[in-house]
Amino acid sequence: MFGCSRLKQAGVLISAAAAVLLACPVASAAPAAAGATRQAVVNSGDAMYTVSPGPGREPYYCSAGFAILVQGVRYILTAGHCTEHGLDWQGIGPNVDTHFPVTDYGRIRDLSGSGHSRVNLYDGRTQRILRAGIPQVGQTVCKSGMTTKKTCGKVLGLNQTVNYGKGKQVVGTIATDIPIESGDSGGPLFYGGVGYGVLSGGNSQVSFFQPLRSVLAAYGATLA
């Protein structure tokens, strides 16, 4: 689904009102990046691997979002454009649902036996996520993903609309200046012990995240 090389990037319009950017969702159909092997415990930001059910059996890589509980059942939250592809995620479990476009989130049944929702900081440490919050414009935030690892930046805007082309838009996103690359999709936006969203898409200048609070409310979920 990664198609940045085929899409013309338009200018970024960030304001208090909704902004529109022709950007790219960033699931990866490329070979696995170094360090993409699944760990025994699935942390937020870890690499995930699946194979398309289509005739080409195309491989896809995304990043794990937050570990959540719905009626006592454990799931990995990630981007919806990730869960619209593939069947089982290796070492984790099967796709459960997908919500894309308009929103961009989906669930994977987590059979890995992981513990609390923790973000991989890619320095040998993890950060426990204790609650979901809403960031402020100008606030420092960080993201974790399989390709660009942990990187930080600022919130540029809330309630932003991103246009992925072919009539696919995602509304209500959190925009940041954190650059992202192929394979980072689904990874968490956070700061300290607060989770804010899961990565939908973007480019080397701006990134867009599906807000975590709205997803938890839609599922009737809590953080694991």
Catalytic residue among 44, 46, 81, 207: 81
Report the length, in residues, of the chain: 224
183 close to 176: Cβ distance less than 8 angstroms? no
Residue 81 annotated as catalytic: yes
Catalytic residue among 104, 110, 114, 144: 104
Tell me 93's DSSP state. E
Cis, peptide link before residue 101, omega less than 30° from 0: yes
Please tell me the number of Cα atoms within 13 Å of 154 on its side-chain side: 6
Q: What angle do CA 51, 63, 163 make, to 5 degrees?
A: 90
Catalytic residue among 44, 114, 182, 185: 185
Residue 99 annotated as catalytic: no
- Any idea which residue has 């969702």 for tokens? 25
3-state helix, strand, coil in the chain (%, to 5): 5, 40, 50
Residue 104 annotated as catalytic: yes
Alpha-carbon span 135 to 195, nearest angstrom: 9
165 close to 7: Cβ distance less than 8 angstroms? yes
If DSSP codes are grouped into helix, strand and coil, which group holds residue 6?
A: helix
Q: How many CB atoms lie within 10 A of CB 23?
A: 25
Catalytic residues: 81, 104, 185
